[in-house]
Amino acid sequence: MCGIVGYIGSSEEKSVSEILVTGLKKLEYRGYDSSGIAVLEDSKVKRVRAAGKLNHLEKKLEDQKFKSEIGIAHTRWATHGLPTENNAHPHSCGSTVIVHNGIIENFRSLLSQRPELHSKLKTETDSELIAVLLDSVLSADNNHKDEEEHFLQSCLKVQQALEGAFAVLALNEKTPDTLIGWKFGPPLIVGKSKNGSFAVASDVCALPEDTEQLLYLNDHDLFQIKKNEFSLFAKGKKAETIQWEKANFQQMEMDKKGYSHYMLKEVHEQPRAVREALMPFFDFSKREFNSTNDELSKFKELISSVSDVLFVACGTSFYAGLIGQSYFE
Ligand code: GLU
């Protein structure tokens, strides 16, 4: 599970690359093996990528100050190809650059239908094919009148062609004020701030703190952000109304809260997490199970009618399963 972040707008305090890297840091808890960012500066893609921890990327970014108001970023958990700098996202082809979270399951069949695209691939990843397909759709029609519309229609076309799990963000040098993204499976959340900037991320905690409104994308959604203008396409059809939610950053407790790493924080959070999980089923003042809880009574009924319970798990959950086994017995 990797993370993606995108940003379009301007902030008085931070550059786009700082906003992107701050977002990536908040997504570190999801695990990753490499990272990268791409911004558009004077309508040109500028990419910086690094294998390993985010501080490797930060080190590379130290000597590069971009003048940009739009960018995308990624922490990768390799599924196709080694965790090298070359395989790290963002991936670019022609005028486009993308980040992808997930797996393109029909990657091989798409390539066998379009063998001429093979030579355009420079990495071992499935994701790069998204950039290559996008570039091929964009360059197939040179007679279009409107670059924005052409980029949008090309993304909608590529979205249709993909099977598997994906959250994608895409930029195009010919439409330097536009950010497009779509998802099927992995989460993608759009945040809007008072000053008209938009940010997109795999988790709310990675959005900038001045985010005022949120939109959780559904599967098959595709969005287009043009400067201050946001459009949503659900299953290819433009949405008439968009249900923004108020952002509540007090509820976001995903940062390390003073612990030196996430695992330590999780260990210390266990008593509270168990208590919260039990809350609907257990009356803590009486120290007894809540007899009026429907789900609990259904579960009691179900569990008394079965003869065997099988725990299937691996790693840490295997040990949790062993504890579960003794409780159930
Ligand atoms: N499948 C892609 C890759 O291996 C994306 C993996 C991810 O979600 O980080 O690059």
**d(Cα 274, Cα 281) in Å, to the nearest integer?**
12
User: Exposure pattern of 45-79 as b/e (b: 16+ CB <10 Å)?
Assistant: bbbbbbbeebeebbeebeeeebebbbbbbbbbebe
What band does 257 get if pLDDT is binned at 50, 70 and 90? low
What band does 39 get if pLDDT is binned at 50, 70 and 90? very high
Which of 178, 231, 134, 151 has the alpha carbon at shortest distance from 43? 178
Choosing from 24, 27, 76 the residue with most ligand 1 atoms within 8 A of its CB, the one to mutate for a pocket test is 76
**d(Cα 306, Cα 325) in Å, to the nearest integer?**
14
Q: What is the pLDDT of residue 253?
A: 54
Average pLDDT of the chain to the nearest whole number: 92
**Do residues 151 and 138 make contact, with C-beta atoms less than 8 angstroms apart?**
yes
Is the pLDDT reported for residue 254 higher than 60? Answer: no
Q: What is the pLDDT of residue 252?
A: 55
Q: What is the pLDDT of residue 116?
A: 94
Atom of ligand 1 nearest to the CA of 1: 8
User: What percentage of residues in the chain have a pLDDT greater than 90?
Assistant: 71
**d(Cα 225, Cα 74) in Å, to the nearest integer?**
19
Is the pLDDT reported for residue 1 higher than 70? Answer: no
Q: What is the pLDDT of residues 119-170, one digit of tens each?
A: 999 999 999 999 999 999 999 988 888 999 999 999 999 999 999 999 999 9
Strands 3-8 and 96-104: unpaired
Residue 169 burial (10 A CB sphere; 0-12, 13-18, 19+): buried
Q: What's the gap in Å between 90 CA and the centre of ligand 1?
A: 11
3-state secondary structure of 134: helix
* Most confident stretch, 1-10, 11-20, 41-50, 250-259: 41-50
Give me the DSSP letters along 74-90.
EEE--SSS-S-TTTSSP
Q: What is the pLDDT of residues 193-247, one digit of tens each?
A: 989 999 999 988 899 989 999 999 999 999 999 988 999 999 999 999 999 999 8
Global pTM value: 0.81
Per-residue pLDDT, averaged over 19-29, amounts to 93
Based on DSSP, count helices (H) and strands (E) in the chain, helices before strands. Answer: 8, 17
Q: What's the gap in Å between 78 CA and the centre of ligand 1?
A: 5
Please work out whether the CB of residue 226 comes within 6 Å of at least one atom of ligand 1.
no
Q: What is the pLDDT of residues 267-320, one digit of tens each?
A: 888 888 888 788 888 887 888 888 777 888 888 888 889 989 899 998 889 999
